[in-house]
Structure 1
Amino acid sequence: MSATMAGVYLPGDSTAVLRELAVPAPGPGQVLVEVGASGICGSDIGYIYHEHKGHRGVDGPAYRGVVAGHEPSGRIVAVGPGCRRFGEGDRVIVYHIAGCGLCDNCRRGYFISCIAPERQAYGWQRDGGHAHYVLAEESTCVPLPAELSYVDGALIACGFGTAYEGLRRIGVNGDGDLLVVGLGPVGLAAGMIGRGMGARRVVGVEPSPRRREWADELGVFDATMGPDEEIAPEFATTIDCSGSRAGRATAIGGAAEWGRVSLVGEGGTLETEVSDALLHKQLTLYASWVTSLTAMTELAVNLVRWGLRPELVVSDRFPIEEAGKAYELAAGASRGKVVLLPSPELT
């Protein structure tokens, strides 16, 4: 193992910078993961790549100038003292928040909602996965089944985990149809998982013809529609992955009487007429932020059981040396998910 490695940093001016840094050594309860794949998330683009701002920052910007990337998956190559569950050679997904482990949210597995001062997100307050190696807390590692690739694992780490939690909240099953609004990577994930959970029919809504075409090519949905097409209020479950006011209105409008609506898209606002749109239809709205450690573990197992591969939604893969090109594409005209492969020799 080399003493140094390359890591990607985001200055906040729509560029990605590669820097050389020391390979860290794991301390107590920590593991060193050789990164096989690390996804680029929409929140990386919106909150860090263009400019450092908000997103749960307490004292100034949330991004602390660390190695970027909160969607890593790879193989453990070294373990620190006191590690008990994972060892060298284990394939893992890294859940992207290291919480305090003691608050109620952490004890439920929702490290994402930890509010303790020591809470740190990979790629935001501590070095993340856009590097050859990432130093991870053993408590944040999720087993990656042998049937899934490291790219699959990287997608489970955020987008697929987020979609799964949103669909679990609204109880998607074979008794009704599912409407997915916004066919970016999270929306594509919702379509795939919704099918795995048994939804009778899965329909997608997306304003971009390019993304609709990509979704159609993948065969994820029974049908895709533009936002101007009439959507009947007949869906037992709907999920908005767009994070837009118009998208959320579409998800609410497409819900049937007694329907259940999940909101997982970041940012924007929610604006709706209340009586006819919500009250008279007896709707239930769920707001969901990422997922829990236990649900992420469950999802990895379920994807194998359903015969689904998250990497299907990946349109572009780049070596870490081309991180600048990867981010530029992810922030612009990518059809699907963009992923970095820091250690492409890992299979």
Structure 2
Amino acid sequence: MRGVYLPGHSDVDIKDVPDPVPGPGQVLLAMKASTICGSDIRAIYREHLQGDPAEMYQDVVAGHEPAGEVVAVGPDAVRLKVGDRVCVYHISGCGQCDDCVRGYQISCSSPRRAAYGWQRDGGHADLILTEERDCVVLPDFVTFLDGACVACGFGTAYEGLLRANVSGRDSLAVVGLGPVGLAAGLLGGKLGAVPRIGVDPSPERRALALELGAVDAAYAPDRAADALDVLGAGAHVAIDCSGSAPGRATAISLLRARGRMVLVGEGNGLTVDEVSPTLIHPSITIIGSWVTSLEHMRELVERLPVWDLHPEVIVTDTFGIDEADAAYKLAAEGRAGKVALVP
């Protein structure tokens, strides 16, 4: 089979590697869609981070947002069968620790923890070998592209919104209108948030967010204060998907008193010059949120048909495996929506 590798320095290698064979409790998927995540660009494609063990790329097949069809099952597989359509929770944990039992394999601290596309082979290939327990069955309504989008980006956005208890009582500010920001706006709308405003430096991404109905109004960062004309006293909830210090500062500035801010964008810092007037006096709550749980991922795919929402609407460009270099170059420009490999 073909597999895509990321050696760093914005290079992409495509190699022929042996087809994997499922062992006990494992299933083999024929890949149908595998999307590119901003974390792949930040931490692997441009350079190999070697600090946080969770982000140490082990020269495996890339891609941690896979969806595919079961083509073989190993011994002791009890839930899935050939022909099932699934997406994959992109971290495989030990299955025994408190975090894994609660479904938050992302937080597993066992040496056995391995993220698909980072420490074990991922989805940028013709086939992917997964643990059966990591697979989430897709309802008929949910396409393979939908499932790939849920596997990380939509799941991450959903978790952040749940942690902030977003509902129809809230207005929502989304800072960073890349794929995760688009997901946050779309899902925030389904949870009832109104109005929803977005902030992003890219005119292409602002236009896409408006076209998709992810936000009701979109602003460049230097015009973010104009959003208060729509929000009034400010947003009840702001979610930072930019992963940048200026973006986080913008998110805080758009909150009303007793507002909640969710951090989902990875990287960079958070600097507050005057803590008392900025955070303490308005009683701002800051919430960190990392990926999602298996339970919430299953919940999300079950809600998509009810909401009549196809996450694939944020996919603006698809490529074959042999075009992976072009796909990564486009994703790294930061102007498109979601970019996907479709074998």
| TM-score, normalisation: structure 1 | 0.95
Instruction: Judge conservation of contact 2:239–2:261 (CA < 8 Å) in 1.
Output: yes
How far did residue 217 of structure 1 move?
2.2
Question: Partner of 1:295 in structure 2?
Answer: 296
Residue in structure 2 matched with residue 345 of structure 1 by the alignment: none
1:23 aligns with: 19
Partner of 2:311: 310
Structure 2 distance, partners of 1:134, 1:65, is: 15
**Aligned-partner residue type, residue 76 of structure 1:** V
Q: Which residue of 2 aligns with 1:14?
A: 10
Counterpart residue number, 2:182 = 188
1:16-95 aligned within 5 A: 16-54=12-50, 56-57=52-53, 62-95=56-89
Do 2:66 and 2:87's aligned partners in 1 also have CA atoms closer than 8 Å? yes
Matches within 5 A, 1:321-336: 321-332=322-333, 334-336=335-337
Cα distance in 1 for residues equivalent to 2:50 and 2:151: 22
Match of 1:207 among 201, 206, 218: 201
8 Å Cα contact 2:202-2:335 kept in structure 1? no
CA contact (8 A) 2:178 2:334 kept: no
Using the TM superposition, give the Cα deviation of residue 133 of structure 1 relative to its aligned residue in structure 2, in angstroms. 0.6
| Amino acid across the alignment from 2:250 | T
Q: Provide the C-alpha distance between the structure 2 equivalents of 1:54 and 1:184, rounded to a whole number of angstroms.
A: 25
Question: Is residue 253 of structure 1 aligned with residue 277 of structure 2?
Answer: no
Contact 2:315 2:338 in 1 (8 A): yes
1:132 and 2:126 are equivalent in the alignment: yes
Task: Map 1:144-293; keep pairs closer than 5 Å.
Answer: 144-229=138-223, 230=225, 231-232=227-228, 233-272=233-272, 273-293=274-294
- Separation of aligned partners in 1, 2:45 and 2:234: 39
Is this contact kept in 2: 1:177–1:201, CA < 8 A?
Answer: yes
By percentage of residues, which structure has more helix? 2
Deviates more, 1:11-20 or 1:215-224: 215-224
What letter matches 1:45 in structure 2? Answer: I
Query: Aligned partners of 1:296 and 1:112: how far apart in 2?
Result: 12
- Say what the alpha-carbon RMSD is for the aligned residues: 1.2
Contact persistence 1:47–1:55 (CA under 8 A): no
Give deviations 1:190-246, integer Å, cap 9, x for gaps: 000000111121111111112112222222211111111214351111100000011
Secondary structure, aligned partner of 1:215: helix
Q: Secondary structure in 2 aligned to 1:228? A: helix
CA distance in 1, matches of 2:51, 2:251: 24
> How far apart, in 2, do the equivalents of 1:314 and 1:264 lie?
20
Could you tell me how far apart the structure 2 residues matched to 1:333 and 1:293 are?
29
Provide the secondary structure at the position in 1 that maps to 2:63: coil
Q: Provide, for residues 144-196 of structure 1, a one-character-per-residue CA deviation record: whole Å limited to 9, x for no partner.
A: 11101101000000000000000000011001211100000000000000001
**How far apart are the structure 2 equivalents of 1:139 and 1:328?**
33
Summarize deviations over 1:17-61 as a string: whole Å, max 9, x none.
111011111000000011100011111111111111136227xx7
| Counterpart Cα distance in 2 of 1:110 and 1:54 | 23
Greater shift in the superposed pair: 8-17 or 328-337: 328-337
Task: Give 5+ residue unaligned stretches, structure 2.
Answer: none
- In the alignment, the residues of structure 2 paired with residue 33 and residue 303 of structure 1 have an alpha-carbon distance, to the nearest angstrom, of 23
**Which one-letter code corresponds to 1:192 in the other structure?**
L
Q: 1:321 to 1:153 in 2, by over 3 A?
A: same
Unaligned segments of structure 1, at least 5 residues: 343-347
CA distance in 1, matches of 2:208, 2:281: 36
* Corresponding residue SS for 1:87: coil
Listed one character per residue, the Cα deviations across residues 87-124 of structure 1 (whole Å, up to 9, x for unaligned) are 11111010000100111111110000001001000001
